[in-house]
Structure 1
């Protein structure tokens, strides 16, 4: 079981890495070509909504409602019933999305007021943000249909195409920044057109894979189908449960619009770097584990269900702790290497570094949520993660108020606190319900990871000279950053080996993992 999980997770992680690297190229271009000013603040606010929707739908939130219902139909072993359900669900989904898209385009001025009330009414930032939101909002229609198609493919253990799809957004925006922007009176609007074109391309990419499976939905509009009713009853709580962190990030943007010009951009760039480990591990684990858990639940196999959760949590800690350390100790070097060119200054690096460190403190919480929420939604329990998500959001909101003296970095810290509390509540509840029973050997496993992390932290703290990055050119910055990342990884891996942990044990049957870790 864990061997297949590890293989699937690795595939999704590698393809996600490609998308994230392209995302960094995209952001480096934006920082270099457009800088940090009124226009970029306007774009990042307008982009928040389609980017938020992309995270909601393509990064697993929709799947939490969809895959468990689809698993019930799969368990019936009736392909005709599966195709009928998919056609009716897709038809109603497309109808709802089209209506929301029309409303969103018409209501763009109001949405910008709600999302960034600090933008002056009828001011340049407000007008630009409205214009770009009207261009990008139809992305909702395409990306939500992409999520529907990706959910089908993931349920049938087809992970490659859905994991590759996000790269098209970055490719489209890079092309728009390079070739379209110089042709427009307001160059930054080219990025908005790039987002719209990406949505169309992402949807088209799903079609061949669905045709190969014989599962390309034939749209039907049926408001009374029992399976479709169950699906749509669960969509809103499922999306909220998984995406409360993204909602908090959206609220960060809202509050940041009242702060110093550039605050929205500093938060954006720091969030982008935290997205990297979230995508490589959190997204990959959530994508792979959910269908597995739904299958175990449908087969009434609680032992396998618990083992899958245990495997996911071990992998989160094994990779998440060193990733957190790396983000904190290399915050300014990473920002300087990626973004400090032309209009993006050393001051921008320092200020974005503050919020990056604050977001990094919540990384383990962000990652654990991706593993723990499926423990509820796979059993079609939407109410518990929804309740805890609301608690976490209220904690973050209260933290935002208390942290205002720390400006944009305080907003990031409050979001991290909310994620940690959310993860702890989910973990405690799963254990109380005996849905998750920790396997043997956790104390020794944690000791090994913490010793290795301490060795890595001490080495990077001693070796890295943050101020030196200002004296280096682009190639030197890249080489130095890669060098210190490699040093950190080698020290961490070596320390794990010395303490007795072997990575191959993550891909063997779970009972052998237990025996090894308890030795």
Structure 2
């Protein structure tokens, strides 16, 4: 499988999803503003998403994909892999039902524990509980989506899983269009849209697996050797992801105790931060895990390390300019995308400031996506647990130290700092074990990429100052200005990276020649 092609497929379809997501966020900011109802919905949306990342994505993929790949490429082939999938599904499905039922019953206590800052406002607290009860079944649906995504990714069929999130954004966009009144009514419509979007996603992935030749039957739940092996791998991964997700819930806890609108500022800034993370980091992590697992299973660790090295090079080539550009143009970008209707210029300014701080950790977020497959492919999910526990403690300490002084900006700084702490610890451990190290040539390549990024940042800053009136003008002027900055920034960065040697010129020439031959 060609790594660049796989990343292009995943990243391109993820980008489509993110475009729908930004359309949703732009419409939502104008209809809902930074209001109490918006904050309540964002908490209700964050809670199932947190558990989705805990059970349904990172931990599940870490345990499922390597084991599925072993069976798929072993003597049993696709039949053995299908049997393993059915055994996991038989245990996974009733567990999810029970988990969802317990939380639906205990939702008031759960929301109080996470968003106790709303307890002083009975109406806002009750709204948050009601909305969370509507959105929480999304956890069950999206966890099943992750199982089918793992099957398709192991078969190197990435398209359906990469496109699926777009269906959630479409469902939520539909809710905003159908119920544009704002306030509580729109919040309820959005909550329903979340669950409907989960149904759409599950239907797409189930059909994709069926067309790929994997039709899963429901079996009686049994702890088979395969399921036992799956749990041995996935439980530590869940604990590791759990520590990280607890950190996310702690951020929510602190944000709900800040002034009204803080959840909205954090949400919109994080959406922009998540764009390059999803398009670059998630695409790379998804693409390289099956490859590294396959090389490790064959006893070819050098090839596995080579794949990770290529992924690091490509991730930094794409991520560094994104982080620097977002930091420089955070204010104008947030104003262009979100300002309008009930979302004021002050709201956009605060959101931009939060974004400028959070993106300092973006390269680390992306690198973690590239580094952790080196552990998961070796069925080592315990090490990320230990590093995540240290990061959790650091996050709590930083939040208590910084938030009283800097408010939501302190929260943003803690998020960025902890991402770097996690990244550096994971790399140091992987390097110490001899599994992967960044070679001298790669350090040099990254240094040249940073130099190209700084040239781009200087140009963007000069343009921002020269055309300040446009960035403070009408919606049309703001959008045109931001699009111009994006285009100019891309041209400057990739031109400088080419001149400085920040990219593999020979690989690009080879790719260009292959395309010409294919066209001929």
Q: TM-score, normalised by structure 2?
A: 0.93
- Matched residue, 1:428: 428
Query: How much has 1:333 moved relative to structure 2?
Result: 0.9
Equivalent runs, 1:8-19 vs 2, <5 Å? 8-19=6-17
Equivalent runs, 1:84-233 vs 2, <5 Å? 84-120=83-119, 123-180=122-179, 186-233=185-232
Separation (CA, whole Å) in 1 of partners of 2:38 and 2:26: 13
- Matched residue, 1:445: 445
Residue 46 of structure 2, aligned match among 31, 45, 48:
48
Query: How much has 1:503 moved relative to structure 2?
Result: 5.2
Query: How much has 1:434 moved relative to structure 2?
Result: 0.6
| Aligned partners of 1:64 and 1:238 also within 8 Å | yes
Separation (CA, whole Å) in 2 of partners of 1:213 and 1:77: 20
**DSSP-derived class of the 2:372 partner:** helix
Structure 2: segments with no counterpart, 5+ residues: 511-520
| Aligned partners of 1:38 and 1:124 also within 8 Å | no
CA gap of 1:493–1:69, structure 2 versus 1, over 3 A, is same
Query: How much has 1:143 moved relative to structure 2?
Result: 0.3
- Matched residue, 2:463: 463
| Aligned partners of 1:181 and 1:191 also within 8 Å | no
Equivalent runs, 1:268-279 vs 2, <5 Å? 268-279=267-278
Separation (CA, whole Å) in 2 of partners of 1:40 and 1:184: 7
Separation (CA, whole Å) in 1 of partners of 2:369 and 2:157: 19
Q: Deviations over 1:418-442 (max 9, x none)?
A: 1101100111111111101334512
| Aligned partners of 1:293 and 1:308 also within 8 Å | yes
Separation (CA, whole Å) in 2 of partners of 1:247 and 1:363: 20
| Aligned partners of 1:143 and 1:203 also within 8 Å | yes
Separation (CA, whole Å) in 2 of partners of 1:245 and 1:412: 15
CA gap of 1:214–1:333, structure 2 versus 1, over 3 A, is same
| Aligned partners of 1:336 and 1:469 also within 8 Å | no
| Aligned partners of 1:181 and 1:188 also within 8 Å | no
CA gap of 1:240–1:327, structure 2 versus 1, over 3 A, is farther
Query: How much has 1:232 moved relative to structure 2?
Result: 2.2
Q: Note the aligned Cα RMSD (angstroms).
A: 2.1
| Aligned partners of 1:181 and 1:190 also within 8 Å | no
Q: Deviations over 1:141-193 (max 9, x none)?
A: 11000000000000000000000100000000000111145599723110000
Separation (CA, whole Å) in 1 of partners of 2:281 and 2:245: 14
- Matched residue, 1:20: 18
| Aligned partners of 1:47 and 1:136 also within 8 Å | yes
Separation (CA, whole Å) in 2 of partners of 1:15 and 1:67: 21
Separation (CA, whole Å) in 1 of partners of 2:188 and 2:470: 32
Equivalent runs, 1:345-360 vs 2, <5 Å? 345-360=344-359
- Matched residue, 1:490: 491
**DSSP-derived class of the 1:464 partner:** helix
Separation (CA, whole Å) in 2 of partners of 1:284 and 1:61: 16
- Matched residue, 1:516: none
Separation (CA, whole Å) in 2 of partners of 1:62 and 1:224: 17
CA gap of 1:69–1:337, structure 2 versus 1, over 3 A, is same
- Matched residue, 2:475: 474
Aligned: 1:373 with 2:375: no
- Matched residue, 2:384: 385
CA gap of 1:118–1:185, structure 2 versus 1, over 3 A, is closer
Query: How much has 1:500 moved relative to structure 2?
Result: 3.4
Separation (CA, whole Å) in 2 of partners of 1:190 and 1:334: 28
- Matched residue, 1:514: none
Separation (CA, whole Å) in 2 of partners of 1:189 and 1:385: 37
CA gap of 1:9–1:244, structure 2 versus 1, over 3 A, is farther
CA gap of 1:184–1:53, structure 2 versus 1, over 3 A, is same
Q: Comparing 51-60 with 79-88, which one deviates more in the overlay?
A: 51-60
CA gap of 1:32–1:183, structure 2 versus 1, over 3 A, is closer
Q: Deviations over 1:20-72 (max 9, x none)?
A: 11111101111111111111111111111123244446654421111111122
Separation (CA, whole Å) in 1 of partners of 2:183 and 2:468: 38
| Aligned partners of 2:63 and 2:230 also within 8 Å | yes
**DSSP-derived class of the 1:261 partner:** coil
Separation (CA, whole Å) in 2 of partners of 1:454 and 1:301: 38
**Corresponding pairs, count:** 508
CA gap of 1:126–1:467, structure 2 versus 1, over 3 A, is farther
Structure 1: segments with no counterpart, 5+ residues: 510-519
| Aligned partners of 2:18 and 2:275 also within 8 Å | yes
